[in-house]
Amino acid sequence: MARPFDAVLLIAFGGPQGRDDVRPFLANVLRGRRVAPERVEEVAHHYELFEGISPLTELTARQGVLLLEALRDRGHELPVYVGMRNWHPFLEDTLTTMGRHGVRRAIGLIAAAHRSYSSCTQYRENVEDARAALRAAGLDDVEIVYVGDWHSHPGFVDANADHVREALTRLPDAVRDRARIIFTAHSIPVSMASRFPYGRQLEETAQAVAERVGAKDWVLVYQSRSGRPEDPWLGPDVCDYLRQASADGLPAAVLSPIGFICDHIEVLYDLDTEAAGVCRDLGLPMTRASAVNDHSRFIDAMAETVIQTIERYGGARPLPVVSGPGSMKRS
């Protein structure tokens, strides 16, 4: 019986790999959006604080290698390709390579655990645009079938919980047992959140991680807000929350970026630089848990989610994705 898939496509945001990359990269991120030049320069400065190098590219490549090995260990010999939305390796280039390698059907795994337009649907649209470009150029098309939701997968929960426990050990003994776990995620417009399960899925992940750690004192907040100031976005903002919580007597905090798969610039700047600075000014003891990165249990979650997709289709050819209402329901 023929296997239903030829490969796995790991789809991620992308990140610059040097100072010269920063502004072209941001132009890709912001394409189609009107953003004030001073805001672009502000974000460019965030990247330049880290020499213009986002860890996301290296971490995603590492996740891809480990995913390949985990699938092989479970009896599935599938190559894993990495394609990025905003920087090299671009999705169109990766799909071109896949087609040349004889891949006709692949499992798509978007590197975002919680579903919204910007974290999921937009990436699917980018994949469809890349496929259309391949067809227009007379190149072999690659059909992509996406995995189901995995925001509450035990492996994803375990990886976050391990990192929270480690962060707790770095707090002073006197406040460790009274620390609040502050889960963070990228904010999105309220209008977008009303159409997707993003907020609910984040709450479910946070609840599961807190239970795994044995923490009863926790909260979900948001970071990395962008867009027009007059437009409502999900909140509270992490820095605003830290100021208010400190004023209310919070003794210590652990920041856990459960809405992110890698420790990339938005984590390094918004939490390790900006939020950490707020905590220093307040005299609030704070540590930051790592994102799941290449934690072995997260790799297990990725592999098991891919295998669930393989088993869902068995030896059958998956049905093509049909455009229309509900056609991008799963991530």
Identity of the residue numbered 319: L
pTM above 0.85, yes or no: yes
CA 299 to chain centre: 14
What CATH fold (topology level) applies to the domain 7-150+296-313? Rossmann fold (3.40.50)
Q: What is the pLDDT of residue 34?
A: 72
What CATH fold (topology level) applies to the domain 154-288? Rossmann fold (3.40.50)
Spatial separation of the C-alpha atoms in residues 284 and 146, rounded to whole Å: 42
Q: List, by residue range, all CATH 3.40.50.1400 domains of the chain.
A: 7-150+296-313, 154-288
Distant-in-sequence, close-in-space partners of 183: CB < 8 Å, separation ≥ 6? 202, 205, 206, 209, 218, 219, 220, 221, 256, 257, 258, 259
3-class DSSP state for residue 202? Answer: helix
Spatial separation of the C-alpha atoms in residues 116 and 215, rounded to whole Å: 27
Q: What is the pLDDT of residue 330?
A: 35
DSSP string of 43-98, one letter each residue: HHHHHHTTTTB-HHHHHHHHHHHHHHHHHHHTT----EEEEESSSSSBHHHHHHHH
CA 273 to chain centre: 20
Spatial separation of the C-alpha atoms in residues 140 and 135, rounded to whole Å: 7
3-class DSSP state for residue 182? Answer: strand
One digit per residue, the tens of pLDDT, for the chain of length 331 reads 568 999 999 999 999 999 999 999 999 988 867 777 888 898 899 999 999 999 999 999 999 999 999 999 999 999 999 999 999 999 999 999 999 999 999 999 999 999 999 999 999 999 999 999 999 999 999 999 999 999 999 999 999 999 999 999 999 999 999 999 999 999 999 999 999 999 999 999 999 999 999 999 999 999 988 777 778 999 999 999 999 999 999 999 999 999 999 999 999 999 999 999 999 999 999 999 999 999 999 999 999 999 999 999 875 555 554 433 333 333 3
